[in-house]
Structure 1
């Protein structure tokens, strides 16, 4: 909250020509509060913003919890890549559990009611959890790049992944310390009102805001553009190389799927994070006057912060539910299988499966003769197999006195030859 006496032209006449230092040393208890008192925002606005935040919070907490439960209960999913996805889910879960409520309380009250604890830890916790989530996203992006376009030596191993995860929490913790050190809770008693606010050291945090913005928005967005762009280039090159040899259908399908995921990741990141940049530059260019933060900037402040939490709620859908192995594990994990996530959580996967099935049915079949040492002397069995010719295998029997052994006809796909 900005001090109420930044613009002396709007102050009462008895404050005219007084300096800021003088006001700070002044016994304000002898003077009325020089601004409009409203204490708490209207009930309708409080209810609307609270409902929007609860919807996103509950949705994101539920999905991130599902990801963590699946990883804990299915040891066959304990791979380096899934460790990184689990770390991302943990960071988003803690972010949605803790930070939105700080934001709502700060927005609803005219005074800073979070007191000294909130002033010291609000910015620190929010910056730590958001930075941990950003680093987790970048590690997942790199892991996918290494799997698709780099050598096996460049991939994150199962032994290295825990060390990277620990570092991904220590680094944000250290980077967020200025929010704890350079903020101070203050109270000022007026004749008719006790004013409370949280003051930032603008000489330090004014510059540090831009550094945090770089870490929260532009670096992760740039990393995603580079990694997913490289993956798409690699898949496109492989598809063209194989197409020149008469194949490449599998790579083409992987390229289409990767394109959808890439578009989803980049659009979501841009929509949810770029407004935070707009908000920060708007804040730095505000006029130094009373109530400058009201109106359009106030709406932008809430929207930008809200979209950051929306991103944390959507991440499980992008990085977890689009994974086939995760979806299969969802329908096998006790306590989660009742939701049948694997059956309905990803429509694109269902459409792709039907498309692949149709392609398989249209493939020409090549029959390879395989001998079977055990003869089947029942003519009825042979007739039954002939009538049911659509089965995957057809067994033909011969008379007993013939020396020829029975044969087994097995259809094979062209790709297997």
Structure 2
């Protein structure tokens, strides 16, 4: 634990006193964050609504994990940007002792939970296509997916707990300034951050690369088996797998890698700084890294919803409308008519016809006869 018992009342504050960022800088950051927050909250809400209202989608294990990830992303976008703006805009830490304990814990728990579900989605996809049919015991079922979703929150909260335990609020009086900041136990958290970064970036990235590569190789094998039979089959999955792999990996790397790098830089600076503060251009980079994390939470519904044919069909067949019911009452005393207008939003659900995604592409005679085209959602 850092020692802050040194008497600083006889000394002037050694850093520049700026109290708060300029109004223009705060406004610029708010303006850049608002579209991301609105887009992300809207996208994740629509995704959850579609899954909740379509039984066919709810009965797919992958969609349960996608819904759970959407919940984590939704809460992240609803809470974390505001907390980060308060932290980023002021020189002193204005969230107080409780904010110091909760800020990192809340953001870490939501991010970890989202990533754990992302790993579950990758595993479900590789198990559905690559694993043999006699290995059903290793695959997700609806019940197992629900259990996994609950465990992801428990694990996320547990892994984020040190961010609450090993942080504390410090008030330090200088001769010309009262300093308030959220201090970290740099000895313990410097090791802990390596675990968090591995959980948030390296483990899911490795799992996604392995999963999509194995899926691509497996489907490529089946394509060769079918082509050997000289059957005029149109194969479209390779291009789609390549596109999906490229978008998922590039998005994940571009939006999470900067945060990873800056965490290590920040820890090194904190260990060398007696002020337990970071200044200079790092503030701007730190904001940009968090901004990219929020963008990642906002675009996940597009990657795992809009790019999925079943979700696109469900969205197209889902109608939202507003119906108004007016009841007119005649006022005897004034002779005027008053209308009591009740507005209600109605969700119409049409039967959804899903594209079945086989556990293992068929290669037998029946497949040749029907000249079935396999696609991966």
TM-score scaled to structure 1, two decimals? Answer: 0.72
1:2-401 pair list within 5 angstroms:
24-26=5-7, 28-79=8-59, 80-152=61-133, 153=136, 154-247=138-231, 249-250=233-234, 252-286=235-269, 288=273, 293-335=278-320
Counterpart secondary structure, 2:170 = strand
Contact 1:74 1:333 in 2 (8 A): no
Distance 2:19 2:206 in 1: 42
Tell me the CA shift for residue 292 of structure 1: 7.4
Unaligned 5+ runs, structure 2 = 323-344, 346-368, 373-377
Distance 1:184 1:197 in 2: 9
Distance 1:101 1:248 in 2: 57
Tell me the CA shift for residue 161 of structure 1: 1.1
Contact 2:73 2:110 in 1 (8 A): yes
Distance 1:325 1:45 in 2: 43
Tell me the CA shift for residue 102 of structure 1: 1.3
Q: Higher Cα Rg: structure 1 or 2?
A: 1
**CA 415–215 in structure 1, closer or farther in 2 if over 3 Å, else same:** closer
Unaligned 5+ runs, structure 1 = 1-19, 339-412
Contact 2:232 2:371 in 1 (8 A): no
Tell me the CA shift for residue 184 of structure 1: 0.6
**CA 41–165 in structure 1, closer or farther in 2 if over 3 Å, else same:** same
Distance 1:62 1:178 in 2: 32
Distance 2:116 2:276 in 1: 36
TM-superposition CA deviations, 1:141-184 (whole Å, max 9, x none): 11111112113403211121111111111011111111111111
Distance 1:156 1:121 in 2: 33
Contact 1:41 1:109 in 2 (8 A): yes
Distance 1:258 1:248 in 2: 21
Contact 1:30 1:190 in 2 (8 A): yes
Distance 2:154 2:232 in 1: 44
Tell me the CA shift for residue 291 of structure 1: 9.6
Tell me the CA shift for residue 189 of structure 1: 2.6
Query: RMSD over aligned Cα, in angstroms?
Result: 2.3
Contact 1:124 1:179 in 2 (8 A): yes
For residue 17 of structure 1, what is the aligned residue in structure 2? none
Tell me the CA shift for residue 299 of structure 1: 2.3
**Which gives a bigger RCO, structure 1 or 2 (Cα 8 Å, sep 6+)?**
2
Distance 2:144 2:35 in 1: 36
TM-superposition CA deviations, 1:45-100 (whole Å, max 9, x none): 11111111111111111100000010111112112121111111111111111111
